Amino acid sequence: MLITIDNLLDQPRLNAIQEMLNTADFIDGKLSAGKEAKGVKNNEELSLQSPLHQRLNQIVMGALVQNETYQNAALPLKLATAFYARYTQGMQYGLHVDDPVMGPMTGRYRSDISTTVFLSNTRDYEGGELMIKTEFGEQSVKLAAGSAVIYSSKSLHRVAEVTQGERLVAVTWAQSLVKNTEQRELLYDLSLARDQLIANHPNADETARVSRSYANLLRMWSEV
């Protein structure tokens, strides 16, 4: 599953985020990398201890959790705090898979869904595409500032080398209510059909049947 969300962040919120990150102190991204990723990760990240972190999360994560597409696609149960990453000329992130379990010992969560929110205008950097291996081959993702992409955390992926300029992104993970990837995809497709039926035929019998099927499948497959 690879789903994009356009205009997750509007321009005023983007301006506020970019202003904060322009004055932020970044640290070596390897400090937050897992065993596999440490050898292929070459970027910088905002320290989790930075006083800016909470302010950024209020904007970025606040917009994400309220977004209907994200809610329907990810079915989030637990959400990670976002990491704010910077890639300058020559930086990249080699092919890797995200750690299956993340977080501190007192708050562990399974990574089912990865999300990248693009914070730089595409004209501000060259290269830096997010490359995700899918069943249809490697997909290249480079979205406008304020847009996001959702993809399975079990996917092999990489960030191509930035050859010019500066790439800023926010990256976060979620443990889903539904562990199985195929079941989540079926529920997402069914949710789109349900919403369309509710909008166009709210009182039809087929609308009620589809809505009931969605609710009961989510009840059957969810982990709570």
Q: Structure pTM? A: 0.94
Tell me the C-alpha distance between 83 and 192, whole Å: 30
Q: What is the pLDDT of residue 136?
A: 86
- Which among 86, 115, 107, 95 is positioned nearest to 158, based on CA atoms? 95
Residue 34 has pLDDT above 80, yes or no: no
pLDDT tens digits along 77-128:
999 999 999 999 999 999 999 999 998 888 899 999 999 999 999 999 999 9
Q: What is the pLDDT of residue 103?
A: 86
- Full set of structural domains in the chain with CATH: 2-176 (2.60.120.620), 181-221 (no CATH)
Residue 7 has pLDDT above 90, yes or no: yes
As a whole number, mean pLDDT of residues 151-174 equals 97
Q: What H or E segment, with its residue span, contains residue 136?
A: none
- Helices 11-22 and 52-65 cross at an angle (nearest 10°) of 150
Q: What is the pLDDT of residue 104?
A: 85
As a whole number, mean pLDDT of residues 122-144 equals 95
| Residues in CB range of 56: below 8 A, 6 or more apart | 17, 20, 21, 46, 82, 84, 170
